[in-house]
Structure 1
C-alpha cells in the first residue's frame, strides 16, 4: 500500500471554496480505486495549512489513477473549480508506506 499526504497552503478567506473542492475529490478518488482518508482543514487559530490523505494498493495503481483522471470530465470540472476560485495557494505531495498495528482507540 502507498499513502499520499498532501499539505496545502490555503487562502483563509476561501476555506468554504476549499471545502467544496475537497468534497469533489472525496467522491472522485474512489472511482479510480483509491481509498480517501479525508481532508483536515484548519480549525483553531491562524493556520493556513490543510491536509489531504489517501491510499492506493501500489504506486503502479496510483500512476494508473493519474492517467485515468487526466481524461475524466468530472476531474476536469474539479480542476476548473480550483482555477476559478484559487482556494489554495500551493501544495506539497509526499508518499508513505504505512506500518499498521493495534488500533489507537478501543471501540
Structure 2
C-alpha cells in the first residue's frame, strides 16, 4: 500500500472554494480504486495550510489513477475551479508506506 499525503498552501480568502475542490476528489479517488482518508482544513493556527490523504494498493495503481484522471470530466472541473479561484497557492505531495508491528520473534 502507498499513501499520498498532500500539503496545500491555500488562499485563506478562498477557503470555501478550496473545500469544494478538495472534497470533490473523494469520490474520484474511490471510483478509481483508492481509499480516501479525508481532507483537513485550517481551524486553529495557520489559516493557509490544509491536508489530504489517500491510499492505493500500490504505486502502480496510483500511476493508473493519475493517467485516468487526465481524461476524467469531474477531475477536469476541479482543476478548472482551482485555476479560476486560485484557491491553491502551492502543494507538496509525499508518498508514505505503513510501518506495521513486527511479527512475533523479530527483534528477540
> Secondary structure of 1:27's match?
helix
Q: Specify the alignment match of 2:40 in structure 1.
A: 40
> Which segments of 5 or more consecutive residues in structure 2 lack a partner in the other structure?
102-108
The answer on 1:24 being equivalent to 2:8 is: no
Q: How does 1:46-85 map to 2 (within 5 A)?
A: 46-85=46-85
Compute the TM-score of the two structures, normalised by the length of structure 1: 0.89
How far off its partner does 1:100 sit?
4.0
- How many residue pairs get aligned? The number is 101
The answer on 1:10 being equivalent to 2:10 is: yes
Divergent runs of 4+, >2 A? none
> Which segments of 5 or more consecutive residues in structure 1 lack a partner in the other structure?
102-107
> Secondary structure of 1:90's match?
strand
| Structure index of larger Rg | 2
Compute the TM-score of the two structures, normalised by the length of structure 2: 0.88
